[in-house]
Structure 1
Amino acid sequence: MRPKHIVVIDDDHLILAMANDFLSAAGYQVSTVDSPIFSNHIIYGSNPPDLIIIDYMMPLMNGDHKIKTLKSKSRSRDIPILLMSSKSHAELQLLAAEAGADGIVTKPFTPGNLVQMVRNYL
């Protein structure tokens, strides 16, 4: 059985590296992308993700817009998506609900927090 595939989208390369390290160490296959605009080749490629984690605030396109787009397409609407941000927990929950995200990840995150959130949605 192949490991679960997680896509992490964030414009901060340190966050991408940390998420990759933490999730890879937990046995997941991880793909990282620094822009939601350039993520379609991974999301709709030959190995679609089992879960997507996307940052809220990014240049060119915010995460909430990308989530709405993904949830509107039949090929991606059933993929669990977690909205990630350093905003307060309550504000992030509201933003996630408005965008149609399945859950949230607050920054900064620890390896245990991130892996547990992923496990909760897989």
Structure 2
Amino acid sequence: MAERWVDPGTGTVTVADKAFGQDVRPCNEAAEVSFAHKTGFTYNYLADAGIVRSLNGEDGARGYGGAPQGDYIVVMMSNLGYRYSDPRQAAVAQPVCGDDPGNDDGVCYTEKFAALGRSVDAILRRR
């Protein structure tokens, strides 16, 4: 998580008046990459494109294919919008996502997209 979004006192993140109540600092300290990205998200469409940058030093410990750093661009498009969700969200009384993102109660993306990103990164690490 970019430091500009992290409350230095609590480690929590608030974006557009939405508070995400978990201290993200331990995750930031353990992170191996950063992901600067832009999303597009509707009822039946999802896109995410961004730049993945290695957070390791210039010594090349994390490089891909002999490159000193493992930076790459990744793009994903899908017809699985916010109408598709993780099982943990299926039983909630009110859906997390709606037609007005300003009224959403949480993160609308399925966690499967993070798993896909991890798989892509693992493939590139082996190169």
Instruction: Provide the TM-score with structure 2 as the length reference.
Output: 0.26
Structure with the larger RCO, 1 or 2 (CA within 8 Å, 6+ apart): 1
Relative to its length, the structure with more strand (as a share) is: 2
